[in-house]
Amino acid sequence: MSSKTSEEIFQHLQNIVDFGKNVMKEFLGENYVHCGEVVQLPLDFVKQLCLKIQCERPESRCDKDLDTLSGYALCLPNLARLQTYHFAEHRPILCVEIKPKCGFIPFSSDVTHEMKHKVCRYCMHQHLKVATGKWKQISKYCPLDLYSGNKQRMYFALKSLLQEAQNNLKIFKNGELIYGCKDARSPVADWSELAHHLKPFFFPSNGLASGPHCTRAVIRELVRVITRVLLSGSDKGRAGALRSGPGLRGPPICEASPFSRSLRCQGKNTPERSGLPKGCLLYKTLQVQMLDLLDIEGLYPLYRRVERYLEEFPEERKTLQIDGPYDEAFYQRLLDLSTEDDGTVAFALTKVQQYRVAMTAKDCSIMIALSPCLQDASSDQRPIVPSSRSRFAFSVSVLDLDLKPYESIPHQYKLDGKIVNYYLKTVHAKDATVMSTRFKESEDCTLVLHKV
Ligand SMILES: O=P(O)(O)O[C@@H]1[C@@H](OP(=O)(O)O)[C@H](OP(=O)(O)O)[C@H](O)[C@H](OP(=O)(O)O)[C@H]1OP(=O)(O)O
Ligand SMILES: Nc1ncnc2c1ncn2[C@@H]1O[C@H](COP(=O)(O)OP(=O)(O)OP(=O)(O)O)[C@@H](O)[C@H]1O
């Protein structure tokens, strides 16, 4: 950033706002997306702010310098508060932030490792993350469970996030982080402390005793309310324009998810395909993620095609809108879902831009703000979610919608290979050993039976 001029930084920030307005608002809907605006700030103020917040920044973020030179910044609403009121609320507020990650298994025929058609990227990536020390243990969370629309699977996914939050779950009370990782090495999940914070929200006038029973009851209420909110929504948006045909979908379950493993052990059939209501944010996010039609394996050669073209005609970078502007024309080109490669740069460029948008949707977060409302406050038109002992006004917003850079594609390609190879080498090999031991045991068993 520091090598850029102020004018370039202004343009970069304006591009983020335009991308939100012209692309993400279109796909996800007006109410979920808050684009913010570029503002100019006195340099003195920025420098003081930077010093003040330095000690609060997670260690892993400190390699990224804050821009204190350009005087430009992006001003966003506080999404940990309700977005349905245009004035500050003074009622207590809870906010649950979820980074759900990629909710589908690639369906592209360009995928070379069969495993990628069975196990989702998140579940595979977990093993590499633990091996490299990013996290201490493998999470039971699988995005496909959360995106399934099936309440049981969604409960399982949310409970798994509560057990092992990593960077996928945070909970704020009145804007303050009360649960989830400040950093990679944060302490283990303490459900009783969380329940202590949440009890007044879910059991306001009830003398529910403390202890494990109370903790379980409070957590259950939280999971139910979040599930209801995630399944709610009639907000318009044009993600429907992206609806994939039956051939353009992966399997509905990930073989590594403990939920589907346990179903298989019980001899149950695979669960129903996504039952997400079309108006809800999860559904729309998934549709945008599926703009990754070819998988990185099919996309990378197309990226190389664009690169070769740019090496020959570097001045064309602007015309191709690689770094913006992210305007209506840019949006319209994203709607072309054809996968027939006619060998042109135009085709390659469309797929590259779609991939960048899909990657953005795979890495964004959902903020759910909940504020208890009085039992008789039914006159206003705000969305309300009931829990068994209280009711909440709520709002749902998306966070972190800046378009992933064109330059990150080679990194994505390498990382994909690393994730799959590590998974195949270690986990799958281990599974195979267990399987073959079991197979041997059953052979042995058969032999014994023969002897008898
Ligand atoms: O590649 P992934 O799936 O590991 O995602 C990265 C995230 O890691 P995660 O898997 O969520 O722990 C990663 O999250 P953390 O910074 O590690 O919390 C970033 O969001 C990164 O985006 P960017 O490069 O900073 O724009 C993300 O990179 P992109 O792939 O979205 O560019
Ligand atoms: N508008 C907002 N309202 C409330 N909380 C926010 C808002 N923006 C960011 N946050 C909080 O700050 C965290 C970090 O935000 P974000 O990932 O957007 O930062 P970033 O600038 O992209 O950081 P980095 O560059 O290090 O990835 C979020 O996970 C969220 O908890």
pLDDT in tens, the chain (452 residues): 458 899 999 999 999 999 999 999 999 999 999 999 999 999 999 999 999 998 888 887 788 888 999 999 999 999 998 887 655 567 899 999 999 999 999 999 999 999 999 999 999 999 999 999 999 999 999 999 999 999 999 999 999 999 999 999 999 999 999 999 766 656 667 899 999 999 999 988 766 667 788 899 999 999 999 999 999 987 666 666 676 655 557 788 999 999 988 877 777 666 655 589 999 999 999 999 999 999 999 999 999 999 999 999 999 999 999 999 999 999 999 999 999 999 999 999 999 999 999 999 999 999 999 999 876 665 567 789 999 889 999 999 999 999 999 999 999 999 999 999 999 999 877 776 655 554 454 444 333 333 32
User: Residue 437's pLDDT is what?
Assistant: 54
Residue 340 to residue 348: CA distance in whole angstroms: 11
- DSSP letter string over 17-36? HHHIIIIIHHHH-TTTB---
Closest C-alpha residue for ligand 1 atom 1:
412
What is the C-alpha separation between 335 and 351, in angstroms, rounded? 10
Task: Quickly list DSSP for 337-373.
Answer: ------S-HHHHHHHHHHHHHHHHHHH-EEEEEEEEE
DSSP state at residue 66? P
Task: Please tell me if the CB atom of residue 399 comes closer than 6 angstroms to any atom of ligand 2.
Answer: yes
Residue 46 CB-half CA count within 13 A: 16
Answer for the pair 148, 275: CB distance below 8 angstroms, yes or no.
yes
Q: Whose CA is closest to atom 4 on ligand 1? A: 125
Q: How far is the CA of 259 from the centre of ligand 2 (A)?
A: 31
Ligand nearest to C-alpha 1: 2
Q: Which of 116, 120, 139, 140 is nearest to 129 (CA)?
A: 139
Q: For residue 234, what pLDDT is reported?
A: 72
User: Can you tell me which residue has the tokens 């073959």?
Assistant: 436
pLDDT of residue 52: 92
Best residue for ligand 2 mutational test, from 399, 401, 402, 404 (most atoms within 8 Å of Cβ)? 399
CB 144 within 8 A of CB 71: no
Whether the CB of 66 sits within 6 Å of ligand 2 = no
Does the beta carbon of 48 sit less than 6 angstroms from any atom of ligand 1?
no
Quickly tell me which residue has 């809907």 as its tokens.
29
Ligand nearest to the CA of 64: 2
Which tokens go with 131? Answer: 């091996």
Token pair of 312, please?
A: 């020959």
**Per-residue pLDDT at 441:** 45
Task: Look at residue 93 in the predicted model and tell me its pLDDT.
Answer: 94
Kindly state if the Cβ of 76 falls inside 6 Å of ligand 2.
yes
pLDDT for 404 equals 98
Based on the number of CB atoms within 10 Å of its own CB, is 347 exposed (0-12), middle (13-18) or buried (19 or more)? middle
Ligand 1, atom 13, residue with closest C-alpha? 363
- Burial tier of 341 (Cβ tally within 10 Å: 0-12, 13-18, 19+): middle
